[in-house]
């Protein structure tokens, strides 16, 4: 999962907007929002890994 993503200014602005809304959902607690995002990404990564393993067979 070593992949570097480069964003243009439009993508960066959209990402910032989403991040701001996500932090707002967590009552301004950026650490709590980050922890939830890590958990969510972990679940998504597990699903992606399962799909990839099925395609390799």
The C-alpha atoms of residue 26 and residue 32 are separated, in whole angstroms, by 7
pLDDT tens for each residue of 40-51: 999 999 999 999
The C-alpha atoms of residue 12 and residue 56 are separated, in whole angstroms, by 34
pTM: 0.65
Looking at residue 1, what is its pLDDT?
A: 55
Q: Considering only CA atoms, which of 36, 33, 17 is closest in space to residue 25?
A: 33
Torsion angles phi and psi, residue 24, rounded to 5: -60, -40
| Cβ pair 45, 1 in contact under 8 A | yes
């Amino acid at each position: 999962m070593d992949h570097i993503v480069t964003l243009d200014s439009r993508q960066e602005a959209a990402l910032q907007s989403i991040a701001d809304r996500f932090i707002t959902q967590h009552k301004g607690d950026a650490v709590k929002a980050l922890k939830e995002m890590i958990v969510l990404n972990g679940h998504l990564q597990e699903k992606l890994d399962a799909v990839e393993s099925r395609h390799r067979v």
